[in-house]
Structure 1
Amino acid sequence: MDANDVSGDIDHVLLSKEEIQAVVKDLAEQIDRDYAGRDLLVVGVLKGAVMIMADLARALHSHVTMDWMAVSSYGSGTASSGVVRILKDLDTDLMGKDVLIVEDIIDSGLTLSWLLSNLRSRGPASVEICALLRKPEAAKVEIDVRYIGRDIPNEFVVGYGLDFAEKYRNLDFVGTLAPHVYA
């Protein structure tokens, strides 16, 4: 799905398909360098991280193990509810493993802060975060993020895994959703 398929719903494109590919390549190079010779468990946070997780895994030159976790604090709105629920837990035991959480976007940081605490309590050797996007102006808690693709303005964005009411995830770019769509 591209911009022509949703004309009128998108105010402007923040990251084109080509820009996303360049960001993913850069993130993969950093991760390969930092985890050379180590076994890495890459944990994608569903549903938003599906696109970045798939592209990042393909861009890595190292073997990785992959698992998925689904947590929710949004519902169908545009702001975090602050209450985190595990919808799908990991299938992998984290004890002694190097874990890299892969996120589509870091917004308030509330959900990710909870997730970090939860995963660290399971005895991993390390837990780090890789996020395609981060909204520094929206942060409500400080989180140490090792790998950040791009910082973006505090606008509601969709595409490349990011949704509004489960729509727009399959756009091949990241764009700002027009306010009339969610008003």
Structure 2
Amino acid sequence: MISQDIQKVLIEETQINERCKELAAQIEADYQKRGQVPVIVGLLKGSVPFMAELIKRFTFPCEIDFMSVSSYDGTESIGDVRIDKDMDLSCKGREVLIVEDIVDTGRTLREVKKLLKRKGAADVKVVSLLDKPERRVVEIEADYIGFRVPDEFVVGYGLDYNQKYRNLPYIGVLKPEVYR
């Protein structure tokens, strides 16, 4: 059982679902005010559960796409951001909403935003399930944040450790002995 590796639950599934409803309503209202519909781009793999929960609450017609970017080795951000899979859709002249699982150091998000702007995106906004500001090493903030979390190793609801624990329906703190 993977739950035995969890030290504590930080955010319950019901809290995540409720916050997704609130975020979706806020995002939709903001885009409607501007008369825009964004292309929604999930950053693989961690954003998938959050993105699925979020987009099912939008009433506007969604176009979705994915990018696969990496900057981690185990528990540490290595600082080198690699684009492993780029978007299939063009973002030229379009509003883009990046869906991220967590903003940690900020390196990955900064590089993805720069890339999309170089490709001609009209605007790039970010919604992140989690924000861990204590770990930030570059100046960047998400436009929409689900929850702020302490500087602990969190897993679940898409977040992983060595590709495991993504399927937990909540956000939990991994026991240190699991990753040491």
Interval of TM-score (by shorter of Structure 1 and Structure 2): over 0.9
CA distance in 2, matches of 1:162, 1:40: 24
Query: What corresponds to 1:18 in structure 2?
Result: 14
Aligned residue pairs: how many?
Answer: 178
Query: What corresponds to 1:115 in structure 2?
Result: 112
CA distance in 2, matches of 1:117, 1:81: 19
Q: Give the SS at the match of 2:29.
A: helix
Query: Where has structure 1 moved over 4 Å in runs of 4 or more?
Result: none
The structural deviation recorded for 1:6 is 2.5
Which range moved further: 160-169 or 28-37?
28-37
Higher strand share: 2
The structural deviation recorded for 1:124 is 1.1
* CA distance 1:112–1:157, change in 2 (3 Å): same
For the pair 1:103 / 2:85, whether they are aligned, the reply is no
For the pair 1:166 / 2:167, whether they are aligned, the reply is no
- Structure 2 residue runs without a partner (length 5+): none
For the pair 1:80 / 2:77, whether they are aligned, the reply is yes
CA distance in 2, matches of 1:39, 1:116: 18
Identity of aligned residues (%): 48
Question: Is contact 2:103–2:142 with CA below 8 Å preserved after alignment?
Answer: no
The structural deviation recorded for 1:109 is 0.4
Q: Deviations over 1:57-93 (max 9, x none)?
A: 1011221210000001113x10101111111110011
Write the mapping of 1:64-79 to structure 2, written as runs, cut at 5 A.
Answer: 64-75=62-73, 77-79=74-76
Q: Give the SS at the match of 1:175.
A: strand
Question: Is contact 2:96–2:124 with CA below 8 Å preserved after alignment?
Answer: yes
1:35 to 28, 31, 44: 31
One-letter code aligned to 1:55: E
- Structure 1 residue runs without a partner (length 5+): none
CA distance in 1, matches of 2:131, 2:51: 16
Q: Report the TM-score, using the length of structure 1 for normalisation.
A: 0.94
One-letter code aligned to 2:15: E
The structural deviation recorded for 1:28 is 0.2
Q: Deviations over 1:131-166 (max 9, x none)?
A: 000001011111132100111101100000000000
Q: Give the SS at the match of 1:167.
A: coil
Which range moved further: 6-15 or 166-175?
6-15
The structural deviation recorded for 1:17 is 0.5
Q: CA RMSD in A?
A: 0.9
CA distance in 1, matches of 2:20, 2:3: 26
Query: What corresponds to 2:129 in structure 1?
Result: 132
Q: Give the SS at the match of 1:120.
A: helix
